[in-house]
A and B are shown apart, each in its own frame.
Chain A
Amino acid sequence: MRDPVVPRGGLEAWAPLERGRFASRVGVDIQCVEEVRTSLSIFKDRYLTRVFHEHEITFARSHPYVAARYLAGQFAAREAMLKVLEIEDALSVWRNIFIMCDQSSYRVELFDAASTIARGQGITEIFLSISRNRTSATALALATVDYKLKGGSQ
């Protein structure tokens, strides 16, 4: 039998953590690639600039053969992020979310309103995974919430 996982510094390292102080939130979304391809075909640059970050637009333009598949993943990631941030209404926050691909992992950068909302909710870390195939893209976002940073309200 394997030894149980113990934090660096021993079990006492967990002692200062208040029970119920931390929580995890998860958001998931799926996006059809063909729908994105259709939007690109009809609305072109207006579709891109209303939803995506300029770096994502640059990537899509320089990789036209995989643009729809790539953008479907970025869109699904945005929707997963809105769920994690518990934003139910404000679609304009899409453009405040930038998802970077670093080797095989993803990193999320939040700007302006999205950043303010995340800070206000005590979100300290966000993990993201995106999977794409020919027909659809799926994204899963996981956030760590520190209720102490949220101002003590749970």
Chain B
Amino acid sequence: MSDISESIREILVLHANLPVDISRLSDEDDLYQNGFTSHASVNVMLAIEDTFNVEFPDSLLRKSSFQSVKAIADLLESLSENNPTQ
């Protein structure tokens, strides 16, 4: 498991309010199907911004952006590519 994936999982533990243990889910498992809510996705988004020093543009504020650990990691990667100084 990558460092980014591990950091995302720590954020999910703190802010996603999931009714299941995140360690039981794979990086590809659908978070919404496992109790993730739209409101929790706001918290996760803000926590990710704080942790990784990025800002999500409105175009990326989508449910699908937070569908899984992998989706969040891919999103972070695309943000880093667009902001190579970060």
Contacts and interface: CB of A to CB of B under 8 A. Distances in A.
A92 B61 contact: yes
Given A79-B38, A91-B38, A92-B58, A42 B63 contact: no
Interface in B3-58: 15, 17, 38-43, 45-46, 49, 58
A133 to B, nearest CB: 17
A91 B39 contact: no
- The B interface is mostly helix, strand or loop, or mixed, namely helix
Nearest to A95: B58
Contacts of B45: 50
Contacts of A88: 63
B82 interface: no
Interface stretch (A31-39, A57-65, A143-151): A31-39
Interface of A: 31-32, 35-36, 38-39, 42-43, 46-47, 50-51, 75, 79, 88-92
17 contacts: A31-B39, A32-B39, A35-B17, A38-B43, A39-B42, A39-B43, A42-B15, A47-B46, A50-B42, A50-B61, A75-B39, A79-B38, A89-B62, A89-B63, A91-B41, A91-B42, A91-B62
